[in-house]
Structures are given as C-alpha cells and as structure tokens.
Homo-oligomer: A and B are copies of this chain.
Amino acid sequence: MFLIVASILSSAFCPAGALAGGIDIAAHWMTDLKEGVCLIGFWFNHEHCCWTSNETTFQERDRCPQWKSWAELIAGASEGPFAYAVNYLMYLFWALLFSFLAVTLVRAFAPYACGSGIPEIKTILSGFIIRGYLGKWTLIIKTITLVLAVSSGLSLGKEGPLVHVACCCANILCHLFTKYRKNEAKRREVLSAAAAVGVSVAFGAPIGGVLFSLEEVSYYFPLKTLWRSFFAALVAAFTLRSINPFGNSRLVLFYVEFHAPWHLVELAPFILLGIFGGLWGALFIKANIAWCRTRKTTRLGHYPIIEVLVVTAVTALMAFPNSYTRMSGAELISELFNDCSLLDSSQLCGYKQPSNTSETGVDNSLADRPAGEGLYTALWQLALALIFKMLITVITFGMKVPSGLFIPSMAVGAIAGRLLGVGMEQLAYYNHDWLIFRGWCSPGADCITPGLYAMVGAAACLGGVTRMTVSLVVIMFELTGGLEYIVPLMAATMTSKWVADALGREGIYEAHIRLNGYPFLEPKEEFEHSSLAVDVMRPRRGDPALAVLTQDGMTVGEVETIVESTHYSGFPVVVSQESQRLVGFVLRRDLLISIDNARKRQDGIVSASKVVFTEHTPAQPPEAPPPLRLRGIMDLSPFTVTDHTAMDITVDIFRKLGLRQCLVTHNGRLLGIITKKDILKHMAQIANRDPDSILFN
C-alpha cells in the first residue's frame, strides 16, 4: 500500500520538480533577452553565453564579446545616450510583449491560471469544489504564462504559482488511480503534499515546504500526510537539483553562509525590522485589498489586458534606470543576502579598501570597513528601489497574470534590512567605543553582517504579509543551514506577526479568500461568541417551516412540487409531519435523477405514486399505482446537533469533520438545518461584515 502511494507521489512530484526547473531556466533566459542576445546561439542566457567563451576572468564574468546588448546589435554603439535609449526601448518592448502574451493566454485558455492560487487551494482543501481549477489546461497555461509574467519584469514571484502548478500535477495524476479519483478526502491529502512540494521546489527547502503546507495551506493534515509530504518534497527537491537550474548544484534558491555570530544587542534592530515587516504587511494587505475591490466594483475590471500593459509599462519605465529594480527579484534578494568578501565587485560591497592590506591577506578580509563611494550610491538606489517595490507590488498582485507574493515581499524586507544593516555596521565602525558596541566590536574585526539583516528583514516582511511563523523560520533556516540564526529570525517573525495581527487579523490569503467570497471556515480563528445552534439555524423564527419529506406519506407529485418550489440542495426525511422524527437526508440532485429515471424506466410510476423511504413498503390499497422506493439514495446517518448546542462547538464540529450541513433537533424532533453558509454568514454578521458576500456552490 505504502509503496503504491510512494510511487504515485514520486511520479507526481518528479514532474513538479522538472517543471520548476524548466520554469527557472526559461525565465532566466527570457529575462536576459530583454537586455540583449547571445551571438553564438540565441538560446543561451547571458551567463551561459559567457561561460562558453574562455576569455573572461572571474571578475568580468558577465562581460564577454559574444553577448550583445540590443544597442550594440541595432545601433552598433554600446555607450552614450542613444545606446541607452535603444536598450531602454527594447527592454520596454520585451516587457510589454511578454506581459501581453501572458494576460492574453490566461484570458483565452485558462482564466484560473491567474494569481498565486494559494487562496483557492486553501479553499479547495477546506472542501469547496472549483471545477477545472486544477485541470490540465490550467497546468499548461499557468506554466507558460508564469515564465512570461516573471520575465516581463513585473514585481511578482514564481513561488506561489509553483504551489498551484504542483497541485495541478498531483490532481491530474490522481485521476489515473481509481482509489484517488473516487475519494475526495484522499485526493485532498495528496494535494496537501503537493503544496509542500511547491514550496520545496521553489526554495529548495523540503522541511520548510512541509511545514508551509501544514501551517498555511492545509485544512486537515493527518499524520500520514506529514510523512508522505516530506517524502514527496524530497523527491521533488532532488529532481530539481539534478536539473540544476541555478548552476551551483545547490538545492536552495538563495545560498548564504555567514561567518560572524550575532550579538544579543542586535536583537533590538532585528525587532525593529520585525515591526517594519508587520507594519508593511498589514498596510500592504489593506492597500491591495482596497485596490482589488476597486478593480472588482468599477469599470477597471473590464479591461484586464490594458491594466496589465499599463502596469508593465510603468514597472519597466521606472525599473530600468535603477540596477536594483532592473534585475529580477530573486537576483536582488540573492545579492542583498550576500556577505561581502574583499574580492566582491558588487556596488553593495563598495567599502573603502584598507590601504595596508594586500589582497592575499586573508586575516583582515572580513573586518569592518568604512563605506565608500560605491556603497553610498548603492544605498540611494536601494532606498528608491524600496519605495518603488512597495508601491508597485500593491497594484501588481491580483492582476490577471500568475503572480506570487513571496519574492516581492522578501525583496522589500531584504532592502530595508540591508539598509539598516549597513547603517548599523557604519555606526559600529565609527563608534567602537560606545557601550553597546564595546563588548563585541573591536577595530579590525567583523562584528555586523548586513546580509543577515537583509535575511531577517525578508523574513519579517514575508511574515507580515502571510502570517507564517514556524514554516518561515524553517525555510530561512534551511537556506542558511545554521541553527545560530534561528533566534534573530524568530524574534523578527514573531514581532512582525504581532504587529500585523494588531492592525488586521487576516493574512493576505485569507483576505483574498474573503474578497472573493469563498466559503472558507478559518481553522485558526477561535469562535468566541455565545450564540446557540438555534440562533443560526434555518428556518428562523417567523419563517415558513423547514421543507421536509416524509418517509411514506408523500406522492411523487408532492415531492416534485417541494423540490421545484425551493432551491435547497437537500431535504431531511422525517417519519411523519406530526412527529418530525428524523430518518435521513436526501440530496436534491439524487432525488431529481431518481424520479426522472423511474418515470422513464419503471412501469406505472405516475405523479400519484407514493414515494417510500422505509425499509418495508407499507400496505397499499390494491388499485394504487406501484410505489417508488428511494431508501437507497437516502443518507441514513445525517449529522445532528441539538438546538442548545453552543455555536463554538458547532463550528468546531463543522471544521473538524468537514461538514457542509448539519440538522438541528429538539427533544428528538427535527427543528431546522445549519449549513456552512449559515455559519459563515453568522460569523460575518458578528464581525459587522456584509453576510451576502459569501459564494456557495
């Protein structure tokens, strides 16, 4: 049995790992295509192009004659304002082309391919069915358009959509096995594992992926799913590693290695980053939801293609002049996380070289140094990039292209963290004798690692937006592999969650679920209201009585009248109208199909035929038409609660057992019914929200 599951999981998640690798490679190539082309083969990206040429040194590894920028190719000039303008225009052209293709493909073939997909997967795992959301068209189009969207330079990431892609893979593979095709619950377990796989391949963090699935995505996570998710996440991560898209044979997206330990005093700036992350997270959610609501309710929503093109144009125009916004989000984060070594040529490492040290003097290579010209320029550019990213991400997330939020959030946090980190470093360098620095910062030694600040900042901002906690810390821990940094990460994430929760209880995914009106019963929130089942159930006091069927007292005609005059999706069956003792529950669909079939195939079923739900057909007068026996379609074990059951217990039952409806009895008599929709409406009312915004299928 386990071997079968294992083989399903591995065959399902090898493709997910392979797809992730393919997306990485394609996106990398197309991102570089915006800047230029490789003469020895247009299919090489910038880095690969220059690998093939042996002339380059390590220092100049991204400059080689084979790689031509568009200005060199078209205008023949590599410098000067004209060349710059050509490059600028070509960058804009490609960005618009890619985003136009992305939004057109999404609209034409698979409308479900847009967005990150995580809110919808959360909803699906909670029991809601969205047909086609995990189908093959969504998979194909989302994979293609994800590459296009990432390459267009928009402020979005590929991590969230990868979760959706992995879930599509899993769902399609489930259809091949009867056991999973027929059993919705088992399929959901596989989907939970798929969510783990998505994050595992996105970051190269299998354990973090499993915890992400557990903490953020899954609704019901039995223990065997834990083990299977872990297995699947590892298989996928190793598939990805064998494809080696980052070209460094590392599993992880941002590999970092820090040399200096952190000091207890540094917790203060880390907590500051946490506060920043929390504030930004909460404000981002409010702004983004407000923008998305505007899109939904005004005419803006009717022109998604124009919207995407305008946002792409603005992004490209603003991003090109600043090297930190021009590079892709992942590259930016990678650079910000990086610890400077003496040989580093990046602007961020533009410290003044210590004059008395030769390049081979390894002793001093990691010591603190004063900031130089290059670093000051970098800081300015980073500050501008921070403001730009913070604003543009608000209007980007939620457009009709695949868009993840992990990378933009982390980028914002990493920039803020790096700025603070460099600030702290310079403060410590110039003020070694301050009391707080005296303990661990001596001249000529390394005491503050700005890259660590960037990492902590990234975690804080991502935590503020998504409200992830343990999984976030574990993902970051897997990136660095050092237990040493758990406490800074933890402190920042915790602060960020507290600050953000104080400003608004929902994470971005819950906020989008509510915006879209999906019927999602939040498993984390406690229901703390003293209402009883009788207050929530239908019919309310004064409403007409509940539409019920009796087990042997109604004719086919009467049943049809009840079914047609109401829109309920199911009807309780009682012993008799007088006793109201509950027998079972019949679904509207089953009832209609059965009556329809019986009228067609069974002799003598007319409107006057008795409908019988009992085990034995009651005696009938001889001239009566033959009865229609429907016990087979009745659910004999409907869930019931009494009218005095407290709503917090009822909500708990709905959550834990994944119910869609529950009947309410009083002293053994049927009194009413509570559906998931009733509960969601009741909760919306308590929270002073509009109860009619909730969808239901």
Contact = CB atoms under 8 A, between A and B. Distances in A.
Interface in A630-661: 636-638, 640-642, 644-646, 649, 652-653, 656-657
A215 B223 contact: yes
Contacts of A580: 668
A583 interface: yes
Contact of A583 (B474, B641, B649, B667): B667
Nearest to A207: B474
A38 interface: no
A490 interface: yes
A58 interface: no
A668 B581 contact: yes
Interface string A578-618: 01111110000000000000000000000000000000000
A445 interface: no
Interface in A220-238: 222-224, 226-227, 230-231, 234, 238
Given A215-B223, A668-B581, A668-B582, A234 B657 contact: no
Interface in A468-518: 469-470, 473-474, 477-478, 481-483, 486-487, 490, 494, 498
B230 A469 contact: yes
B498 A2 contact: yes
A549 interface: no
A392 B544 CA distance: 75
Given A470-B210, A642-B637, A524 B223 contact: yes
A524 B668 contact: no
Contacts of A636: 642, 644-645
A328 interface: no
A490 B6 CA distance: 13
Nearest to A575: B667
Contact of A483 (B251, B575, B642, B644): B251
A206 interface: yes
A644 B487 CA distance: 53
A669 interface: yes
A230 B524 contact: no
Interface string A223-264: 110110011001000100000000000011000000000000
User: Of A214, A477, A642, A668, which is in contact with the most chain B CB atoms at under 10 Å from its CB?
Assistant: A668
A227 B469 contact: yes
Nearest to A581: B668
A669 B580 CA distance: 11
Interface in A406-436: none
A644 B637 contact: yes
Contacts of A238: 487
Contact of A234 (B481, B482, B490, B653): B490
A351 B576 CA distance: 89
A523 interface: yes
Interface of A: 2, 206-207, 210, 214-215, 222-224, 226-227, 230-231, 234, 238, 251-252, 469-470, 473-474, 477-478, 481-483, 486-487, 490, 494, 498, 523-524, 533, 574-575, 579-584, 636-638, 640-642, 644-646, 649, 652-653, 656-657, 665, 667-670
